[in-house]
Structure 1
Amino acid sequence: MGLSWKEGVLTILLGAAAASGLTTLILFLVEATSILLPADTKFGIVFDAGSSHTSLFVYKWPADKENNTGVVSQALACQAEGSGISSYTSDPALAGESLRGCLEEALALIPEAQHRETPTFLGATAGMRLLSSEEQLSGRAHLSLEVARVLSQSSVDFLRRLALVGLDEGAFAWITINYVLGSLLQYTFSGEWARPPEATLVGALDMGGASTQMSFVPGGPILDASTKASFILYGSSYSVYSHSYLCFGRDEVLNRLLARLVQGSHSGLARHPCYHSGYRATVPLAPLFESPCVHTSMPPGAAQNLTVEGAGNPGACVSAIRELFNFSSCEGQADCTFDGVYQPLLQGRFYAFSNFYYTFHFLNLTSGQTLDTVNATVWEFCQRPWKLVEVSYPEHTSWLRDYCASGLYILTLLLEGYGFSEETWPSIEFRRQAGGTDIGWTLGYMLNLTNMIPAKAPAMKQAENYGIWAAGIVLVGLTLGAILGAAAVQLLWPRD
């Protein structure tokens, strides 16, 4: 006796459900593949405690790294309120408190679960290096304790304070500029990271308030070991020449210039060749001679205040600036700058940032102008009457009187000090940022530090191909439909 219509329909539906269900199971078991989930993101915090201000930077990088070095990017930049921490020696508690605002911004950005594992460093640069007397060293110790107290109370992993030596300050800045320009690592069209040709490396010219740094890879060996910094980045080795000139930062050069004028003045009035004609101001003398870079004491019987008048004489200004250098110590030596400092022959392009950039940006000289144009522009600006300068730049009142001296000092340093010429001048680019990233030592420091932070491999997970996954969903739907259809037939079909 044959099957009834009801039994036939049930058999077909149940067979379809079994077939589609079995096919779905086979697809999910056989076609599953292993995939790597994106690596976790690591964070790091670096405070740049300079002579004139303190800045905080938050950096991030994928935890799996690239050839042992992190692919680092800037996530936050914050400038702390007030001046540099070295200015708080009379009230060290304020040094630590000045960091709280930026630290709170950083903690709001970093996921709370990662606060405890976020390495945090504070690097004190030339401003702290200048605190050398017994009293100043005691104040420096109190500053360090107060800064450590505030950072240790936070939820981050505060590891150490760094009294950054000049060699490192310059060399880390060299890492930063070459990294953001893609000269250390580039992402290729084939989807892989690769090392660019060494010819793309650039030198770094940095100028803070208390010191200035020169760093580059020379064409030959570095003969003075004290000026050599060595790194291994993304599996490649680099030997960088770097030297920091303490007391040759912008602020300290301006102090030294004024102090020499005071020494040569036997009255309460001094004519400053670098200030614009018509400028006149009264300045207190005691703070000037408290600077460790001013190696003379206040003249006996000198008044507490000095009246300074501008002469607007760029030629005399250059002569006064040249007296701050000891060029005679390098006579007859091709590999020497000034003050007897060794420097290999210049090679390649250079990026000049920080106060190099700020001064030339104010003078509108950051667009690749020729050396003749730069010289003419600076001299013309120095010869403008003070009243005209004040009217022309009402928003630059704090540093306005000093741009003439700063511009002429930069030209003297680059040309007579470092040895740039009319032919090599075009190799210098004046920039504040590169690739949207602030240029300075902090990024280079964090990038080099990632070599010592353990990598974390991406997590492995089983996953389906999208097409297989879609087919499986369709088959699951067919299986459920067949089962529901069979149930409906069994319950609703009229009995024979």
Structure 2
Amino acid sequence: MALRLAQILPPVVLLVLAIVGILLVVLPARETTKTPENMYGIVLDAGSSHTAMYIYKWPSDKQNGTGIVTQHSECKVKGRGISSYAGIRGEAAKSLEACMQEALSQIPKSRQAQTILCLGATAGMRLLDIVNSTESRRVMKEVETKLRSYPFKFKEAVILSGQAEGAYGWVTVNYLLENFVRYGFVGKWLNSGRETIGALDLGGASTQITFETAEKVEDESNLKELKLYGQTYKLYTQSFLCYGQDQFLRKLLAHLIKTQGVKSPIFHPCYPRQFNTTIKLGQDVFNSPCTKSYRPAKFDPYMNVTVVGTGDGGECLASVKKMFSFDNCTYSKCSFDGVFQPTVKGGFMAFSAFYINYNYLTRLTNISIRSSNQMANAMRLVCNMSMTEMVEKTNQMERYLKNVCAVSHFVKILLTEGYVFDEDAFPTISFQKKAGGASVGWALGYMLTMSNLVPAESLGLMKAMPSGTWTAILTLFILLLFFALGYMLLIYRARTKQDLV
């Protein structure tokens, strides 16, 4: 009797385990077997160099105030950022029309009235607001009027502060990586228990750093507290206006002109050897508040100047370093320009122009950059390349490649000397364009906040278990069920034969 029990017990245990497993996987999903109609949200990211429209979607039967948010589509607005239309009436609004028509065609009419629509303008409009606040207000009113003309649920069109831009980027990164909550095998979302990671954003006119810190934030303007999923996150966030990629390049040209004098040609150590281009002083260099301190007392804004590349990596580094000031810190510690910063801690994701520059470096050199030394090696190779070599290796246009050496030096100094990512901390930076299938930036975090899709108190559904994972787990338990039944059948047949004998 004991022997027979010992033979039957293992398959019975497997059978029970398989049935319980199938019930745990299937029952939580029973309510979602009918595909719900989607809700949508639209964010226009009005940057300094261009505007992008992102459409997000989530099931309409969201739980506890949040939904399964995914990126539905993306549209690049033709032309430059809306700040470039200062003084040109109607053009800022007109530039948005093609992408807004795309939104009309992609979002069902039955959902358009509930679709949240918002526009966030960043550093380009912040700069315009400094130079000409009247024109800044006119441009924002113009685009708001245009957006209100569409059948969507318009929320706002605003100029975001640098700190808000950094915080929204941090929310996006950690949301997509499921660092706030995670999916449980019983069909519920649970506190993930994971550490959050910092966000490094490099745009055209500004750059942002945001990360969670336990240190005292000595400058209150850098402190932001967010309550998400019942937890409070204490963030350090700082935005550096005029340290975006485009404005830095203008400042570098302005520095070279100030050093060498207003003449033609100007020798540029960061451009490839023998490469040359022509610029207009008033249009390409001295029309920005970021270059005001370099502006000559007298110059002809319509003067054309030829800029000739010398491909001198050492001189390029020396020139780029002069864009930063590491003196005059009134706090216990600073990053640069006298700005307080606690010690960087944990992992970081670098996106936007950080990723673009990283991608150029790796494509041009085939070096996998995991340390600051490897970045320095890649930069030395790139700064010694001719424009012909660079074009052949990337199949990209010269206007993008001419600045790779300069931007690489800028990024390395910003990360290692500015933000103080030393040899131990640098490998914690992950350079990414997307996470979880969505573009990384501040737009998703902004939309989540505007639509209350990230609850402050209760846990809610964030990202669905991928259908492939769900299917694999269900298949595993079904196979286990058949195995248990087959095992029991073999035992039964063996016992039947034994009884007949």
State TM-score, norm by structure 1: 0.80
Q: 1:387 to 1:43 in 2, by over 3 A?
A: closer
- Name the structure 2 match of 1:263: 258
C-alpha distance in 2, partners of 1:268/1:368? Answer: 37
1:167 aligns with 2:163: yes
- Name the structure 2 match of 1:112: 109
- Name the structure 2 match of 1:319: 318
- Range with greater deviation from structure 2 (275-284 or 290-299): 290-299
For residues 260-314 of structure 1, give each alpha carbon's deviation from its aligned partner in whole angstroms, at most 9, with x where no partner exists.
Answer: 1111223322111111111122211111101111113345255711121112111
For the 8 Å contact 2:225–2:233, the answer to whether it is kept is: yes
1:141 aligns with 2:140: no
Shift of 1:389: 3.2
Q: Which amino acid aligns with 1:401?
A: K
For the 8 Å contact 2:116–2:451, the answer to whether it is kept is: no
Q: 1:208 to 1:378 in 2, by over 3 A?
A: same
C-alpha distance in 1, partners of 2:141/2:193? Answer: 45
Q: 1:191 to 1:300 in 2, by over 3 A?
A: same
C-alpha distance in 1, partners of 2:272/2:440? Answer: 32
1:153 aligns with 2:149: yes
- Name the structure 2 match of 1:486: none
- Name the structure 1 match of 2:389: 388
- Name the structure 1 match of 2:38: 41
2:223 to 210, 228, 232: 228
For residues 140-175 of structure 1, give each alpha carbon's deviation from its aligned partner in whole angstroms, at most 9, with x where no partner exists.
Answer: 222122212221111112121111000010110001
Q: Which amino acid aligns with 2:123?
A: A
- Name the structure 2 match of 1:187: 183
Q: 1:38 to 1:388 in 2, by over 3 A?
A: closer
1:369 aligns with 2:354: no
Q: Which amino acid aligns with 1:206?
A: D
For residues 379-433 of structure 1, give each alpha carbon's deviation from its aligned partner in whole angstroms, at most 9, with x where no partner exists.
Answer: 1210223443344444232211100000110000000000001111110111100
- Name the structure 1 match of 2:248: 253
1:241 aligns with 2:242: no
- Name the structure 1 match of 2:306: 307
- Name the structure 1 match of 2:77: 80
- Name the structure 1 match of 2:425: 424
Q: 1:65 to 1:237 in 2, by over 3 A?
A: farther
Q: Which amino acid aligns with 2:348?
A: F
Looking at CA atoms only, which structure, 1 or 2, has the larger radius of gyration?
1
For the 8 Å contact 1:176–1:440, the answer to whether it is kept is: yes
- Name the structure 1 match of 2:344: 346
C-alpha distance in 2, partners of 1:337/1:165? Answer: 20
C-alpha distance in 2, partners of 1:171/1:309? Answer: 40
Q: 1:377 to 1:367 in 2, by over 3 A?
A: closer
Shift of 1:335: 3.1
C-alpha distance in 2, partners of 1:35/1:181? Answer: 26
- Name the structure 2 match of 1:335: 333
- Name the structure 1 match of 2:51: 54
C-alpha distance in 1, partners of 2:92/2:172? Answer: 27
* SS of residue matched to 2:78: coil
C-alpha distance in 2, partners of 1:240/1:66? Answer: 27
Unaligned runs of 5+ in 1: 1-33, 458-496
Shift of 1:79: 0.9
- Range with greater deviation from structure 2 (359-368 or 172-181): 359-368
For the 8 Å contact 1:67–1:234, the answer to whether it is kept is: no
* SS of residue matched to 2:319: helix
- Name the structure 1 match of 2:476: none
For residues 104-138 of structure 1, give each alpha carbon's deviation from its aligned partner in whole angstroms, at most 9, with x where no partner exists.
Answer: 2212222212212222101000000001356x322
- Name the structure 1 match of 2:358: 360
- Range with greater deviation from structure 2 (296-305 or 202-211): 296-305
- Name the structure 1 match of 2:277: 281
Q: 1:35 to 1:63 in 2, by over 3 A?
A: closer
Q: 1:452 to 1:348 in 2, by over 3 A?
A: closer
- Range with greater deviation from structure 2 (174-183 or 71-80): 71-80
| Sequence identity percentage | 37
Q: Which amino acid aligns with 2:347?
A: R
CA-atom RMSD in angstroms: 2.4
C-alpha distance in 1, partners of 2:278/2:200? Answer: 34
C-alpha distance in 1, partners of 2:151/2:238? Answer: 36
For the 8 Å contact 1:286–1:298, the answer to whether it is kept is: no
C-alpha distance in 2, partners of 1:208/1:119? Answer: 25
For the 8 Å contact 1:69–1:233, the answer to whether it is kept is: no
State TM-score, norm by structure 2: 0.79
- Name the structure 2 match of 1:27: none
C-alpha distance in 1, partners of 2:453/2:184? Answer: 26
- Range with greater deviation from structure 2 (92-101 or 216-225): 216-225
C-alpha distance in 2, partners of 1:421/1:63? Answer: 46
Q: 1:223 to 1:64 in 2, by over 3 A?
A: farther
Q: Which amino acid aligns with 2:433?
A: R
For residues 215-260 of structure 1, give each alpha carbon's deviation from its aligned partner in whole angstroms, at most 9, with x where no partner exists.
Answer: 1101334333211222222232222211100000000000000011
* SS of residue matched to 1:353: strand
Q: Which amino acid aligns with 1:339?
A: D
Shift of 1:334: 5.2
- Name the structure 2 match of 1:212: 207
Q: Which amino acid aligns with 1:87?
A: S
For the 8 Å contact 2:368–2:374, the answer to whether it is kept is: no
Shift of 1:443: 0.4
C-alpha distance in 2, partners of 1:173/1:256? Answer: 26
Q: Which amino acid aligns with 1:359?
A: N
C-alpha distance in 1, partners of 2:31/2:178? Answer: 29
